[in-house]
Amino acid sequence: MDSFRAWTEIDLDALAQNLRSVCQRAGPGVRVMLVVKQDAYGHGAVAIAHHALRCGIGALGVGSSQEALELRGAGIQAPILILGTVVEEELPACLRHEIHVGVHAVDRCRSLQELARMMGVQAHVHLNVDTGMGRLGISTSLALDLLREVHEASHLQLAGLMTHLSAPEGGHCPSSHAQMALFRGLVEQARKEGLPCGWIHALNSAGLFTNLGVSDGLGSGSQMVRVGIAAYGALPRHLMPPSGLNQIMSLRSRIVFLKDVPADTPVGYGSLWHAPRPTRIATLPIGYGHGLPRNLHGWDALIAGRRAPLVGRLSMDYTTLDVGHLEGVRVGQEVTLLGKDGEEELRLEDLAHSLGTIPHELSCSLGRLPRVFVGGAEPFLPAQNPPLEHTKGAVHPGSLAPASGAQTPSPS
């Protein structure tokens, strides 16, 4: 770390603890898919995925084929689902690498069937049903017909049936319950016809941690939850469970310059801050070019467990602190902008709340920094769930057993 001017520290032990909380929250028999899109929300998808598999997580969700293929190239053999849409040119590579594809329309299912037939493979698909997100997914009025068509297709295997909740408040919002009711009705219709649904998944982090209910009338034995930000320990504050979650990302930098200034000295672009007294200014080599929000203000950093306020407007490359009240501050000293230092902790969701945004946005922005991975020696291994039956039109994409030979990557 001595060569880094600014970096994020990713705690794999904290990830394992959060996954334990997720599994306990989901309940026995419910499978967990860890969403690692956008480089695991800025935490490092390859390292996170490897450790999650060691922790017993049986499937991964990504946003694009590129992300899925990167994980395959890194030795990940577990089921990977592309939650978003896939452009036509990307489909052959997805099928060759047995990547599960989310489908949203009749024409995509038919083109997948023809491509899989020509390639001599089976395409594993999850039918995405639009119950109220309005972004991707087939309408509920057409979903049952498409389920029948997938069931009849010779080269399509229905691995799952899914929907996406639109309310960030999860179960606190009536629209989430309305969406679940629509989805539940579709599942019930499919079961009455004897149409297998594979994995049934609707709940995300917000839904899971607001008691929306995993089964919610969907039955038992085939439920799955898709968890992203909760696993990284940064749920928005109003959704955080009483026991809390462990923030796995810390943001560190180091002091590169110290300057004593008289009272009324302006600091930063626009001279928006003036020293209220003679003080000392510490400069850090991190700014909005590294992913910090430019409008960051009213936030403290930690130096040896002591708080020092950020002052002046952020620059592209630098941030300044008022350290005049602290003794022993020196050039080269480590500074924590997020995470723990001594008895103090700076939480990502608190920073997001102060800026009027969500933790997801901040962690993704900070993902451009170098990363150091810590911990990961003793993964959490939940009890294995029995596999779903293999039937025409429905496949079980993997059990909750740890991936064989998975190793924690070196710092990168």
Query: 99 and 197 in one domain?
Result: yes
Burial, 118: exposed, middle or buried (Cβ in 10 Å; 0-12, 13-18, 19+)?
Answer: exposed
Q: 286-290 long-range contacts, Cβ below 8 Å, gap at least 24?
A: 286/5, 286/6, 286/253, 286/317, 286/318, 286/319, 286/337, 287/314, 287/315, 287/316, 287/317, 287/318, 287/319, 288/314, 288/315, 288/316, 289/316, 289/317, 290/6, 290/317, 290/366, 290/368, 290/369
Q: Is residue 383 part of a domain?
A: no
Residue 343: both structure tokens together: 């008895």
Q: Is 364 within the bounds of a domain? A: no
The answer to whether residues 164 and 257 belong to one domain is no
Q: What pLDDT does 405 receive?
A: 34
**Strand 279-284 to 319-322 pairing:** antiparallel
Active site (catalytic) residues: 37, 269
Domain boundary among 292, 319, 346: 346
Do 324 and 279 form a contact (C-beta atoms < 8 A)? Answer: yes
Q: Are residues 288 and 205 in the same domain?
A: no
Is residue 386 assigned to a domain?
Answer: no
Give the Cα separation of 237 and 125 in Å (integer). Answer: 35
Q: Are residues 129 and 211 in the same domain?
A: yes
- Tell me, yes or no, whether 172 lies in a domain: yes
CB-CB contact of 190 with 393 (8 Å) = no
- How far is 344 from 307, CA to CA, in rounded Å? 8
Both 280 and 325 in one domain: the answer is yes
pLDDT at 297: 87
- Which residue range(s) make up the domain with 317? 249-346
- Provide the pLDDT for residue 382: 63
Of 297, 313, 346, the last residue of a domain is: 346
My answer on whether 137 and 165 are in the same domain is yes
Q: How many domains does the chain have?
A: 2
Q: Tell me the whole-structure pTM to 2 decimals.
A: 0.89
Asked if 268 and 179 sit in the same domain, the reply is: no
Coil vs helix vs strand at 300:
strand
CATH number at residue 216: 3.20.20.10
CB 227 within 8 A of CB 25: no
Give me the count of residues in the chain. 412
Mean pLDDT by 10 residues, the chain (412 residues): 81 96 89 96 96 94 96 95 90 96 91 95 95 88 93 94 90 89 92 91 91 61 87 88 89 97 95 96 96 92 97 96 97 97 94 92 94 87 46 37 34 38
What distance in Å separates the CA atoms of residue 197 and residue 143, rounded to the nearest whole number? 12
Q: Tell me, yes or no, whether 278 lies in a domain.
A: yes
Which of 293, 318, 346 delimits the end of a domain? 346
What's the confidence (pLDDT) of residue 218? 62
Q: Is residue 268 part of a domain?
A: yes
* Structure-token pair, residue 340: 């723990």
Q: What is the pLDDT of residue 136?
A: 87
Rg (CA), the chain: 24
Q: Please check whether residues 167 and 259 belong to one and the same domain.
A: no
Does residue 135 fall inside a structural domain? yes
Instruction: Looking at the structure, tell me whether residues 258 and 208 fall in a common domain.
Output: no
- Please check whether residue 185 lies inside any domain of the structure: yes
Confidence (pLDDT) at 2: 52
Residue 127: count of CB within 10 angstroms of its CB: 25
Asked whether residue 196 falls in the same domain as residue 254, the answer is no
CATH number of the domain where residue 278 is located: 2.40.37.10
Backbone angles phi, psi at 407, to 5 degrees: -130, 150
CA 303: distance to chain centroid? 29
* Whole-number pLDDT of residue 123: 96
Question: Within this chain, do residues 230 and 255 fall inside the same structural domain, yes or no?
Answer: no
pLDDT at 385: 43
Do 219 and 283 share a domain, yes or no?
Answer: no
Kindly report the number of other CB atoms within 10 A of residue 338's CB atom: 25
Question: What is the C-alpha to C-alpha distance for residues 105 and 92, in angstroms, rounded to an integer?
Answer: 18
